[in-house]
């Protein structure tokens, strides 16, 4: 059977076609899978498990149906939906993944990450990440009214766009927002793996590299802004393709 990996769907009410594509994927191919892994940024923004706006409600129901059909599902938090919590997990039956974590796929220990921790040249983003991942900050934020949280998410989205716009104007966007090769190698060596799967950078590819003198593989998942991107892993190997 096949294990499926997706990331960076960025589901949002403003892009209903992407939500429909994902819901169709859950009802069709995913139902026959051995497992489903969502490696972060399932949503464009997540302001708390108490938010009942679309597309969160539809996605919760669809994931719950998939899990009920016997397909175990795991979700990692990304840089856009880092506030996914235990209520979402309880509602869907999906399990929240630590980031990073190691799983065994077809006998091969494999490191799973969202991928933002690999982008060590983007110092401004890493500073923001440290702030919003702090438990005290999150507790304070989740205590605020939904409208206030929604406004913060919109400001953060605009700030991110402005940050990337500045990098693009300076000609450094591609380098700074991509995974740092030395960080990739050091991270894989630390966890003792020869295969890494991650998203975040929106640069789908299968990279062959050397880690501690051994052949290794870094698989980058694609985003779902224009089309779906799925990695399929089974005993015969891997296949990264679009929907």
Is the four-CA dihedral 17, 84, 64, 3 of positive or negative sign? positive
The pLDDT assigned to 78 comes to 97
Largest CA distance in the chain: 53
| 3-class DSSP state of 171 | coil
144, part of any domain: no
Whether 135 is covered by a domain: the verdict is no
Residue 133 maps to a domain: no
In a domain, 83, yes or no: yes
Burial, 145: exposed, middle or buried (Cβ in 10 Å; 0-12, 13-18, 19+)? exposed
Of 6, 9, 7, 87, residue with least CA distance to 47: 87
Q: Is residue 146 part of a domain?
A: no
178 touches 119 (CB < 8 A): yes
pLDDT band at 54 (very low <50, low <70, confident <90, very high): confident
Q: Does 173 reside within a domain?
A: no
CATH number at residue 193: 3.60.21.10
Cβ 187 vs Cβ 196: under 8 Å: yes
Domain residues for the domain of 187 are 3-118+180-242
Sequential DSSP letters for 20-76: HHHHHHHHTGGGGSSEEEEES-SBS----TT---TTHHHHHHHHHHHHHTT--EEEE
Enter the tokens of residue 60.
Answer: 């919760």
**Quick check: 160 pLDDT over 90?**
no
Inside any domain, residue 130: no
CA 174/CA 194 separation, integer angstroms: 25
In a domain? residue 107: yes
Q: 10 pLDDT band (50/70/90 cuts)? A: very high
pLDDT, mean over the chain: 95
Question: In total, how many domains does the chain have?
Answer: 1
pLDDT band at residue 137 under the 50/70/90 scheme: very high
């Amino acid at each position: 059977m096949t294990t499926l990996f997706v990331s960076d769907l960025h589901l949002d009410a403003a892009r209903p076609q992407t939500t429909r594509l994902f819901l169709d994927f859950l009802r069709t191919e995913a139902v026959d899978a051995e497992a489903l892994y969502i490696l972060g940024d399932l949503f464009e923004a997540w302001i708390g498990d108490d938010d009942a706006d679309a597309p969160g409600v539809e996605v919760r129901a669809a994931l719950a149906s998939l899990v009920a059909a016997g397909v175990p599902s795991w979700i990692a938090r990304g840089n856009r939906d880092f506030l996914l919590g235990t209520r979402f997990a309880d509602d869907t039956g999906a399990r929240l993944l630590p980031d990073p974590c190691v799983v065994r796929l077809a006998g091969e220990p494999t490191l799973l990450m969202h991928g933002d921790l690999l982008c060590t040249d983007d110092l401004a983003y890493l500073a923001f990440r440290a702030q919003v991942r702090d438990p005290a900050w999150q507790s304070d934020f989740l205590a605020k009214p939904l409208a206030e949280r929604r406004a913060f998410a919109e400001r953060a989205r605009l700030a991110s766009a402005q940050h990337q716009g500045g990098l693009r104007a300076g000609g450094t966007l591609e380098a700074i927002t991509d995974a740092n090769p030395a960080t990739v190698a050091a991270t894989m060596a630390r966890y003792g793996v020869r295969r890494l799967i991650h998203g975040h950078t929106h640069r789908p590819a299968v990279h062959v590299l050397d880690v501690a003198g051994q052949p290794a593989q870094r698989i980058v998942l694609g985003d779902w802004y224009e089309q779906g991107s799925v990695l399929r892993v089974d005993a015969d190997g891997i296949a990264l393709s679009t929907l």
